[in-house]
Structure 1
Amino acid sequence: MKIRFREDGPLVIDLPAGSRFVLDGREYVLDRPKLALCRCGRSQNKPFCDGSHKNCGFKAPAGVLELED
């Protein structure tokens, strides 16, 4: 699995659509092949990104974290 840190934006995880995952004790079913998680803390849809980073001046470097199975 690969986690991408978008420059000045969210964490993006590529998962197959329909994947089930648990985050903060809640179970979710992914309806698309990417999961974007908020890094700026301003999203109104936490823990998911809603694009708020674009208007709040959030700055963070890009990067990639690759996890082995």
Structure 2
Amino acid sequence: MAGRNETARRVVVNREGPILVEGPVEVVGDDGTTTRSDRFVVAICTCRRSRAYPWCDTSHRSRRPAGPAKCRPDGGQPEEADGRQPEDGEEDTRP
């Protein structure tokens, strides 16, 4: 590519956080806007919760990961994600 730096960039993908890219970088959004960062390493948001999107502002840290279902103290079935039990006749959609 003429006029472009041909040095390979390192990209680090983290399942629980942003994509880290060695900078400087230009990011082209889905609406066609281009955003540039000259930082040594930039964090690209993958959760879309960042107020500085496309840059990560660590908003992903506030997301609680899905964990095992909590058992009720009385030994009954685990509660729904919203804290309620399925009612009689209601389909139990839990995995």
Is TM > 0.5 for Structure 1 vs Structure 2? Answer: yes
* Count of residues in Structure 1 that have an aligned counterpart in Structure 2: 56
CA distance in 1, matches of 2:15, 2:27: 26
Aligned to 1:42: 49
Q: Summarize deviations over 1:2-40 as a string: whole Å, max 9, x none.
A: 21112410000012xxx3524123333323101111111
Where does structure 2 lack aligned partners over 5 or more consecutive residues? 1-8, 67-95
Where does structure 1 lack aligned partners over 5 or more consecutive residues? 60-69
**TM-score after normalising by structure 1:** 0.62
Choose between structure 1 and 2 for higher RCO, CA contacts under 8 A separated by at least 6 residues.
1
Higher strand residue share: 1
Q: Which amino acid aligns with 1:21?
A: E
**TM-score after normalising by structure 2:** 0.48
Moved over 3 A (4+): none
